[in-house]
Amino acid sequence: MNPFTTLIAFIVGCLVLYLGIRDRNGWLIGVAMIPLAIVAYSVIYLIIQVSA
């Protein structure tokens, strides 16, 4: 994944997670996990590629 796309997904995920926690909205927190999961997968994939 493009590093800039990963950065944008991380920023969007953090903002949506913040809004979900602030408003105590469960489904918004769940939606925020989608871009954050993509970022986590991308970082783990990058670590595996660098260490191999």
Domain spans, the chain: 3-51
Work out the pLDDT band at 1, boundaries 50, 70, 90: confident
Measure Cα distances from 36 to 11, 30, 46 in Å. 9, 10, 15
**Interval 9-45: pLDDT, tens:** 999 999 999 999 999 999 999 999 999 999 999 999 9
Is the pLDDT reported for residue 52 higher than 90?
Answer: no
Query: Nearest Cα to 1, choosing from 50, 52, 41?
Result: 41
The H or E element containing residue 45 is: helix 26-51
